[in-house]
Amino acid sequence: MTRFTVAHGRVTRPPLALATPALLGLAFLVVPLVGLLLRAPWGSFLAELRAPAVWAALRLSLVCATLATGLSLVVGVPLAWLLARAAVPGKALVRALVTVPLVLPPVVGGVALLLVLGRRGLVGQWLDQWFGISLPFTTSAVVLAETFVAMPFLVLSVEGALRAVDRRYEEAAATLGASAWTTFRRVTFPMVAPSVGAGALLAWARAIGEFGATITFAGNFPGTTQTMPLAVYIALETNPDAAIVLSLLLLAVSVAVLVGLRDRWMLAP
């Protein structure tokens, strides 16, 4: 990658007109974190972490966010391809619909999921009657709620990359006899892979912080549906110190994962 370098290899000095708002923006994002760090009860930090519920919540958060990201990849990348390449009627509308979970307050998303997949929901009642499957209050419901809010991030970033790709490579592959599927697999996908990685990381980050849709659709029970954000919210009711410790733990783990994967996936040649 280029990283602030120009063709001659010299590091550019950012102009003041860019550097000032950039630093303001950075401060705005970082200062709340500093607030958390300053207010953290460092004396009782380890004691707060010793509660077994903390680790159950952290494990659940990591597992569910990862599964939600996987689910988003499996259906989200093809959806992005459809939006970028296929002749879909009313594509603008479809694209707008994909962003619905972004603008919808997550709690409303949770209610919507409940109305569809709940025990008396449009689809849920049949799942319950025919297969005895009931999603609310299960870990699967957590994964679904997180996928619902996180997938648009992946779809949008992959679609943007697909539209920016030079179509001539794909056309050349087709000319040489490659089928549409082979072209996607061997030509298109490798070219947008960094964006898929970036989108997946965004989706994962959104999923790990998910609260509203989860608590509404999946409920809140330690071990099965209580992810870290839920544990933090409940702890805030009686023990703000514990809530800060939990937030910092979640933050530390998430940042470690994101930084670790970012270099590997997104900066790949």
Which residues here bind another protein, judged by CB under 8 A?
A: 111, 114-115, 118-120, 134, 136-137, 215-216, 219-221, 225, 230, 233-240
Among residues 209, 29, 221, which one has the least CA distance to residue 137?
A: 221
Reduce the DSSP state of residue 5 to 3 states and report it.
strand
d(C-alpha 74, C-alpha 56), whole Å: 27
d(C-alpha 163, C-alpha 158), whole Å: 9
Q: Which lies closer to another protein via its Cβ, residue 152 or residue 212?
A: 212
Q: Which lies closer to another protein via its Cβ, residue 200 or residue 235?
A: 235
Q: Which lies closer to another protein via its Cβ, residue 37 or residue 259?
A: 37
Q: Which lies closer to another protein via its Cβ, residue 10 or residue 120?
A: 120
Among residues 55, 72, 60, 52, which one has the least CA distance to residue 219?
A: 60
Compute CA distances 59 → 20, 62, 66, whole Å: 40, 5, 11
Q: Which lies closer to another protein via its Cβ, residue 66 or residue 239?
A: 239
Q: Which lies closer to another protein via its Cβ, residue 121 or residue 199?
A: 121
Q: Report, in Å, the least distance between residue 74 CB and another protein.
A: 28
Q: Which lies closer to another protein via its Cβ, residue 156 or residue 218?
A: 218
Longest Cα separation, the chain: 68
User: Residue 45 burial (CB < 10 Å; 0-12/13-18/19+)?
Assistant: middle
Q: Report, in Å, the least distance between residue 149 CB and another protein.
A: 18
Q: Report, in Å, the least distance between residue 59 CB and another protein.
A: 19
Compute CA distances 158 → 26, 30, 123, 189, 203, whole Å: 26, 28, 30, 10, 12
Q: Report, in Å, the least distance between residue 179 CB and another protein.
A: 46
Q: Which lies closer to another protein via its Cβ, residue 195 or residue 225?
A: 225
Q: Report, in Å, the least distance between residue 120 CB and another protein.
A: 4
Q: Which helix (H) or strand (E) holds 240?
A: helix 240-265
| One-character DSSP codes across 49-98 | HT-HHHHHHHHHHHHHHHHHHHHHHHHHHHHHHHHHHS--TTHHHHHHHH
Q: Report, in Å, the least distance between residue 206 CB and another protein.
A: 21
Give 40's contacts (C-beta < 8 A, 6+ positions apart): 244, 245, 248
Q: Report, in Å, the least distance between residue 239 CB and another protein.
A: 8
Q: Report, in Å, the least distance between residue 136 CB and another protein.
A: 5
